Chain A
Amino acid sequence: MRQCEVLVIGGGPAGLSAAIEAAKAGAQVVVVETNREVGGQLVKQTHKFFGSSRHRAGTRGIDIAKILRKQCEDLHVELKVNSLVMGIYADNVVAIDEKKSLTEHNIERIQAKKIVISTGASENSIRFPGWTLPGVMGAGAIQTMCNYHRVIPGRKLLMIGSGSVGLIVCYQLMQAGAEIVGIVEALPHINGYAVHASKLTREGIPIYTGYTIKEARGKERVEQAVIAKVNPDWSTVPGSEIVLDTDIVAVGAGLKPLIGMAHMSGCEFVYDKALGGWAPCHNKNMESTHKGIYVAGDTTGLEEASTAIEEGTISGIAIAESLGYIPKDKAKTLKDEGWERLAGLRSGFKGEDRVKAKMKQLNRYDEVMKGGK
């Protein structure tokens, strides 16, 4: 069986950053990525990032993906694309199904000294009559179709959810030529960044706060959506229905960590709504409760690409340290710097809840390792 020092599952911002740090220090790294190229969700993020220059503010996500990839290539990180990890088994063995062509697959097992799980997240769905009709899609999936595959899935789009993903996707779809019939938000206020929302309201796109989708109608696919005012108990106000002609109902209802790999490895979990639900807990090295298995990015709690990069960076440094490539004191300085930058990132928009949730993860890790329950 093939051996490697570091195996990274998921080549998004977290995984690539982990790979870069570990490889920079001298470790031999393999990144396994399901899609045909690395970069994770950055490959479709055509908008410019906010924040500090350290976090590449002003740079488009797609360009950050290219930068990270180039760094990996320069450091001779093996990027194994079109490859899905079937599972993690005993003694850090990972089974990989590599798609060589449409019909040709190759299964390989690799045993790694250290594993980084950076599998990201999946979109939440919501249920309403008609939610299984063709035309009801995840907001992120629509963004992938539009910005990456260059296909607009419909002409008239209704967005459910006014979080940042919902707002950005609406703006980009509008730029691509689709009509946005409205944004529905059950909360009494807009959920995402005001900067994004005002770009849409300036174009005359209605944002229905305090509304929810009641039904999607159509014969073969979505033709209409019915929205209605929502009561505090989530029932709808009779008579408040508005019928909108639309062929796409986009669901921007948030995401949840993809925890399959961590669960298979026997990692301990913590539930917190602020991070998208269940996520594996970890220590300040980003190491899970399963020794030698690290978690970074959205897989350990829904945040942003910049936080994923920092978590990945910290895990990469910690791995290089434990493999003996970085002396302890130097590693400590580097990791502390990473945690400081993370604290900075978490001091912003909705940061407080995430800080609390992350503390919960760190505390849970300590509890578990002390043998508590």
Chain B
Amino acid sequence: MKDNLRDDELVCRCEEVTVGDIRKAIQAGARDVTEVKLRTRAGMGLCQGRTCELLVQQIICRELGISADKAGFSTPRTPQRPVTFGTLGGDGFDK
């Protein structure tokens, strides 16, 4: 939305990344969601980008004037949902 893209607005809550941070990353050369993620950590927190991915995508599209399918998506990693270290390290895997 054109008139309210303020630099101080939060985009990724988990990692506290703002619109300004994402703009800076794009100015530094980021061209898609993954490249913004690598530079800013947007999408690397607890929710793994489930909340902010689309918002990051929108900012990239607007700043670069590209369509959504060109902005890509964030690569999902294992574990896909939060798992505690205790669970992973506890009794270990099944034999």
Contacts of A108 in B (CB 8 A): 94
Contacts of A131 in B (CB 8 A): 9-10
Decide if A85 is an interface residue (CB 8 Å cutoff). yes
Cβ of B3 and Cβ of A124 under 8 Å apart? no
Number of A residues, CB within 8 Å of B: 43
CB-CB under 8 A for A278 and B73, given A233-B2, A236-B3: yes
Contacts of B90 in A (CB 8 A): 105, 107
Cβ of B50 and Cβ of A109 under 8 Å apart? no
Q: Mark A94-105, 1 if CB is under 8 A from B, else 0.
A: 010100000001
Cβ of B55 and Cβ of A125 under 8 Å apart? yes
CA distance A87 to B93 in the complex (A): 14
Cβ of B4 and Cβ of A273 under 8 Å apart? no
B interface, how many residues as a size bin? 35 or more
CA distance A122 to B87 in the complex (A): 25
Whole-angstrom distance between the Cβ of A226 and the nearest chain B Cβ: 10
Cβ of A132 and Cβ of B10 under 8 Å apart? yes
Decide if B13 is an interface residue (CB 8 Å cutoff). yes
Whole-angstrom distance between the Cβ of A299 and the nearest chain B Cβ: 12
Contacts of A132 in B (CB 8 A): 10, 13
CA distance A278 to B87 in the complex (A): 32
CB-CB under 8 A for A109 and B93, given A215-B4, A264-B80: yes
Whole-angstrom distance between the Cβ of A276 and the nearest chain B Cβ: 10
Q: Which of A84, A127, A233 contacts B11 (CB 8 A)?
A: A127
Cβ of A125 and Cβ of B52 under 8 Å apart? yes
Contacts of A125 in B (CB 8 A): 51-52, 54-55
B positions within 8 Å CB-CB of A:
1-4, 6, 9-11, 13, 19, 48, 50-52, 54-55, 58, 68-69, 73, 75-76, 78-81, 83-84, 86-88, 90, 92-94
A positions within 8 Å CB-CB of B:
1-2, 34, 84-87, 89, 95, 97, 105, 107-109, 122, 124-129, 131-132, 212, 214-215, 230-231, 233-236, 256, 258-261, 263-264, 271, 273, 277-278
